[in-house]
Amino acid sequence: MKTLREIKEVLKGICVSPSLLSCDFSKWAEEIASAKAAGANLIHWDIMDAHFVPNLTFGHPVVKKLRPHSDLVFDVHLMIDDPVTYAPKFREAGADIITMHIESPAFKDAKTVTDTLTGLKNTGCAVGLVVKPKTPAEAIFPYIDLCDIVLVMTVEPGFGGQSFMADMLPKIESIKSEIEKRGLDCALEVDGGVDGETKDLCFKAGATAFVAGSYLFGKPDMAERIKAFYAMEKKQNG
């Protein structure tokens, strides 16, 4: 695992986080290696429990088994009812970044959210909160000072391959504005329907970290597609 300082350094620039939900599960280690070889600097784990979202994926033992096979930043997105209990288990398994839904039932009060974020940060983990499409940006503002990253869902969580929801762009802009207003060192990530066209819309709105699954895995030009993400920053900087 990387140190928090190393993770924060990666998060300062454009981040491309291919989602393993779209990889070939029969060769996980090779797929992670191919993502790195193509230029990805994060790898995204969509953790679903069949309760918080209507799908079931994988648990922390899988993360633990694959951790020794890659030095990429493991970007773990918990779409589960109880991140309070399970987030520490994913950290122990090798997660570098853990993002948790503010809507999770276990986050029953502000203290629980704060304690969970703080506890993970104290282990050297980068932490963040996630908002579903119907959740207003303001729901995370009381905790944004504790976040190293905020994730905006641009589809309803639960399944890969969905269409991008353009009406989420104002939410990205709102969160970016709050981050800048407070002068925070906090990355802004988007997940859902991100492709060659929608990435530009998200970047213009303020996102700097991009989760993409079906757009990247299994594509012969994966490296070129990833390169286009980094090119956005170069173009902006002239």
What is the average pLDDT across 103-113?
97
pLDDT in tens, 177-193: 999 999 999 999 999 99
The CATH number of whichever domain residue 36 belongs to comes to: 3.20.20.70
- Structural domain includes residue 209: yes
Residue 238 pLDDT exceeds 80: no
Is 46 tagged catalytic? yes
Which pLDDT score, from 0 to 100, does residue 233 have?
A: 80
Listed residue (232, 169, 165, 220) closest to 196, CA to CA: 232
Is 191 tagged catalytic? yes
Enumerate helices (H) and strands (E) in the chain, giving the number of each.
8, 8
Which pLDDT score, from 0 to 100, does residue 157 have?
A: 82
Calculate what percentage of the chain has a pLDDT beyond 70: 97
| Number of domains composing the chain | 1
Spot the catalytic one: 46, 49, 81, 148. Answer: 46
- Structural domain includes residue 221: yes
- Structural domain includes residue 237: no
Listed residue (131, 70, 115) closest to 96, CA to CA: 70
pTM score of the predicted model: 0.95
- Structural domain includes residue 214: yes
In this prediction, residue 232 has a pLDDT band, given cuts at 50, 70 and 90, of very high
- Structural domain includes residue 238: no
The parent domain of residue 196 ranges over 4-232
pLDDT in tens, 57-76: 999 999 999 999 999 999 99
Cβ-Cβ contacts under 8 Å for 125 (sequence gap 6 or more) = 4, 91, 95, 96, 97, 98
- Structural domain includes residue 217: yes
Distance (Å, whole) CA 202 – CA 219 = 22
What length is written for the chain? Answer: 238
Spot the catalytic one: 82, 109, 191, 200. Answer: 191
Which pLDDT score, from 0 to 100, does residue 197 have?
A: 93
